[in-house]
Amino acid sequence: MNLTEIGTRAKQVSRILAVLGQQEKNAALEAAAEAICANEAEILAANEADVKKAVERGMSPGLVDRLRLTSSRVSDMADGLRSVASLHDPIGEVESMQKRPNGLLIGKKRVPLGVIGIIYEARPNVTADAFALCFKSGNAVVLRGGSDAIHSNTAITEAIRKGLRSCSLPEDAIQLITDTSRDTVRAFMRMKDFLDVLIPRGGAGLIRTVVENSTVPVIETGTGNCHIYVDASADLQMACEIVHNAKTQRIGVCNACESLLVHRSVAGRFLPMLKDCLSEKNVEMRGDEASCSLIPEMVPATEEDWGTEYLDYILSVKQVDSLEEAIAHINRYGTGHSEAIITSDYSNAQRFLDEVDAAAVYVNASTRFTDGAQFGFGAEIGISTQKLHARGPMGLKELTTTKYIIYGSGQIRP
Amino acid sequence: MNLTEIGTRAKQVSRILAVLGQQEKNAALEAAAEAICANEAEILAANEADVKKAVERGMSPGLVDRLRLTSSRVSDMADGLRSVASLHDPIGEVESMQKRPNGLLIGKKRVPLGVIGIIYEARPNVTADAFALCFKSGNAVVLRGGSDAIHSNTAITEAIRKGLRSCSLPEDAIQLITDTSRDTVRAFMRMKDFLDVLIPRGGAGLIRTVVENSTVPVIETGTGNCHIYVDASADLQMACEIVHNAKTQRIGVCNACESLLVHRSVAGRFLPMLKDCLSEKNVEMRGDEASCSLIPEMVPATEEDWGTEYLDYILSVKQVDSLEEAIAHINRYGTGHSEAIITSDYSNAQRFLDEVDAAAVYVNASTRFTDGAQFGFGAEIGISTQKLHARGPMGLKELTTTKYIIYGSGQIRP
Q: What pLDDT is stored for residue A268 in this prediction? A: 97
Q: What pLDDT is stored for residue B221 in this prediction? A: 85
Residues in chain B with CB shorter than 8 Å from the CB of A391 are 401-404
Q: What pLDDT is stored for residue A121 in this prediction? A: 86
Using CA coordinates, name the residue in chain A closest to B243: A412
Please check whether residues A75 and A211 belong to one and the same domain.
yes
Please judge whether B386 and A217 are an interchain contact, meaning their C-beta atoms are less than 8 angstroms apart.
yes
CB contact set of A346 (below 8 Å; sequence gap of 6+): none
- Residue A412 resides in a domain: no
Find the helix or strand (DSSP H, E) in which A326 lies: helix A323-333
Please check whether residues B294 and B192 belong to one and the same domain.
no
Mutation target to probe the B interface, by most B beta carbons within 10 A, among A404, A407, A409 is A404
Please judge whether A104 and B409 are an interchain contact, meaning their C-beta atoms are less than 8 angstroms apart.
no
* Mean pLDDT value across residues A88-92: 95
User: What confidence tens digit (pLDDT) does each residue in A317-346 have?
Assistant: 999 999 999 999 999 999 999 999 999 999
Question: What's CA B105's distance to the chain center, in Å?
Answer: 37
Please judge whether B242 and A410 are an interchain contact, meaning their C-beta atoms are less than 8 angstroms apart.
yes
Residues in chain A with CB shorter than 8 Å from the CB of B359 are 403-404
Closest by Cα among B217, B220, B17 to B111 = B17
Closest by Cα among B73, B79, B81 to B40 = B73
Q: What pLDDT is stored for residue B96 in this prediction? A: 87
Please check whether residues A255 and A316 belong to one and the same domain.
yes
- Residue B103 resides in a domain: yes
Q: Work out the percent of chain A whose per-residue pLDDT is above 90.
A: 89
User: Looking at the partner chain, which of B104, B215, B403 has a beta carbon nearest the beta carbon of A391?
Assistant: B403
Residues in chain A with CB shorter than 8 Å from the CB of B218 are 217
DSSP assignment, residue A183?
Answer: H
Using CA coordinates, name the residue in chain B closest to A390: B389
Query: Strand A105-112's sheet: what is its strand order?
Result: A94-99, A105-112, A400-411, B360-365, B338-342, B226-230, B257-263, B314-320, B284-287, B299-300
- Smallest Cα distance from B26 to chain A, Å: 20
Please check whether residues B137 and B48 belong to one and the same domain.
yes
Please check whether residues B255 and B197 belong to one and the same domain.
no
Helical packing angle, A22-38 and A150-166, nearest 10°: 130
Cβ contact B360:B350 at 8 Å: no
- The answer, for A405 touching chain B at a CB cutoff of 8 Å, is yes
Domain that holds residue B199: 3-220+386-407
| A95 has pLDDT over 80 | yes
CA distance B327 to B334: 10
Q: Which residues of chain A from 307 to 366 reach within 8 Å of chain B, CB to CB?
A: 331, 349, 353-355, 357-366
Helical packing angle, B71-85 and B22-38, nearest 10°: 170
End-to-end CA distance of chain A: 52
Question: What's CA A238's distance to the chain center, in Å?
Answer: 28
| A182 has pLDDT over 90 | no
- Residue A381 resides in a domain: no
Q: What pLDDT is stored for residue B269 in this prediction? A: 98
Residues in chain B with CB shorter than 8 Å from the CB of A212 are 215
Please check whether residues B148 and B104 belong to one and the same domain.
yes
Please check whether residues B297 and B320 belong to one and the same domain.
yes
Backbone angles phi, psi at A98, to 5 degrees: -140, 150
Please check whether residues A174 and A306 belong to one and the same domain.
no
- Smallest Cα distance from B408 to chain A, Å: 5
* pLDDT tens series, chain B, 414 aa: 799 999 999 999 999 999 999 999 999 999 999 999 999 999 999 999 999 999 999 998 888 988 999 999 999 999 999 999 999 999 999 988 999 999 999 999 999 999 999 999 878 999 999 999 999 999 999 999 999 999 999 999 999 999 999 999 999 999 999 988 889 999 999 999 999 999 998 888 888 899 889 999 999 887 899 999 999 999 999 999 999 999 999 998 899 999 999 999 999 999 999 999 999 999 999 999 999 999 999 999 999 999 999 999 999 999 999 999 999 999 999 999 999 999 999 999 999 999 999 999 999 999 999 999 899 888 889 999 999 999 999 999 999 999 999 999 999 999
User: What confidence tens digit (pLDDT) does each residue in A285-329 have?
Assistant: 999 999 999 999 999 999 999 999 999 999 999 999 999 999 999
Please check whether residues A188 and A85 belong to one and the same domain.
yes
* Mean pLDDT value across residues A30-57: 97
- Residue B122 resides in a domain: yes
- The answer, for A17 touching chain B at a CB cutoff of 8 Å, is no
With bands split at pLDDT 50, 70 and 90, how would you rate the model's confidence at A222?
Answer: confident
User: Looking at the partner chain, which of A197, A215, A403 has a beta carbon nearest the beta carbon of B359?
Assistant: A403
With bands split at pLDDT 50, 70 and 90, how would you rate the model's confidence at A80?
Answer: very high
Please judge whether B242 and A412 are an interchain contact, meaning their C-beta atoms are less than 8 angstroms apart.
yes
Please judge whether B412 and A196 are an interchain contact, meaning their C-beta atoms are less than 8 angstroms apart.
no
Please judge whether A410 and B238 are an interchain contact, meaning their C-beta atoms are less than 8 angstroms apart.
yes
- Smallest Cα distance from A19 to chain B, Å: 7
- Residue B297 resides in a domain: yes
CA distances from B30 to A323, B15, B17, B27, B347 (A): 33, 22, 16, 5, 50
CA distance B399 to B24: 19
- Residue A376 resides in a domain: no
Q: What pLDDT is stored for residue B337 in this prediction? A: 97
* Mean pLDDT value across residues A40-57: 97
CA distance B164 to B160: 6
- Domain containing B68 — which CATH number? 3.40.605.10
Split into its structural domains, chain A has a count of 2
- Residue A295 resides in a domain: yes
| A379 has pLDDT over 90 | no
* Mean pLDDT value across residues A210-231: 92
Q: Which residues of chain B from 169 to 208 reach within 8 Å of chain A, CB to CB?
A: 192, 196-197
- Residue B376 resides in a domain: no
Please check whether residues A115 and A28 belong to one and the same domain.
yes
Please check whether residues A200 and A177 belong to one and the same domain.
yes
Total Cβ atoms within 10 A of residue B402: 18
Cβ contact B319:B236 at 8 Å: no
Q: What pLDDT is stored for residue B407 in this prediction? A: 98
Q: What pLDDT is stored for residue A204 in this prediction? A: 81
CA distance A13 to A101: 39
Q: What pLDDT is stored for residue A123 in this prediction? A: 86
Please check whether residues A247 and A213 belong to one and the same domain.
no
Buried b / exposed e along A194-228 (16+ C-beta atoms within 10 A): bbbbbbbbbeeebbebbbebbbbbbbbbbbbbbbb
- Domain containing A357 — which CATH number? 3.40.309.10
| A141 has pLDDT over 90 | yes
User: Looking at the partner chain, which of B104, B217, B245 has a beta carbon nearest the beta carbon of A388?
Assistant: B217
Buried b / exposed e along B49-65 (16+ C-beta atoms within 10 A): ebbeebeeeebeeeebe
| A220 has pLDDT over 90 | no
Is the torsion defined by CA of A129, A130, A133, A139 positive or negative?
A: negative
* Mean pLDDT value across residues A176-202: 92
Q: Which residues of chain A from 247 to 276 reach within 8 Å of chain B, CB to CB?
A: 249
CA distance B159 to B165: 10
CA distance B78 to B99: 45
User: What confidence tens digit (pLDDT) does each residue in A232-277 have?
Assistant: 999 999 999 999 999 999 998 899 999 999 999 999 999 999 999 9
Q: What pLDDT is stored for residue A205 in this prediction? A: 86
Please judge whether A238 and B100 are an interchain contact, meaning their C-beta atoms are less than 8 angstroms apart.
no
Q: What pLDDT is stored for residue B90 in this prediction? A: 95
Per residue, the 3-state secondary structure of chain B, as one string, reads CCHHHHHHHHHHHHHHHHCCCHHHHHHHHHHHHHHHHHCHHHHHHHHHHHHHHHHHCCCCHHHHHHHCCCHHHHHHHHHHHHHHHCCCCCCCCEEEEEECCCCCEEEEEEEECCEEEEEECCCCHHHHHHHHHHHHCCCEEEEECCHHHHHHHHHHHHHHHHHHHHCCCCHHHEEECCCCCHHHHHHHCCCCCCCCEEEEECCHHHHHHHHHHCCCCECCECCCCEEEEECCCCCHHHHHHHHHHHHHCCCCCCCCEEEEEEEHHHHHHHHHHHHHHHHCCCCEEEECHHHHHHCCCCEECCHHHHCCCCCCCEEEEEEECCHHHHHHHHHHHCCCCEEEEECCCHHHHHHHHHHCCCCEEEEEECHHHCCCCCCCCCCCCEEECCCCCCCEEECCHHHEEEEEEEEEEEECCC
Q: Are strands B257-263 and B226-230 parallel, antiparallel or unpaired?
A: parallel
Find the helix or strand (DSSP H, E) in which A344 lies: none
DSSP assignment, residue A301?
Answer: P
Cβ contact A373:A83 at 8 Å: no
* Mean pLDDT value across residues A363-391: 93
What global pTM score does this model have? 0.91
CA distance B357 to B134: 29
Which 3 state secondary structure label does DSSP give A410? strand
CA distance A257 to A339: 8
Closest by Cα among B175, B179, B148 to B160 = B175
Dihedral Cα A292, A293, A294, A295, nearest 10 deg: 50
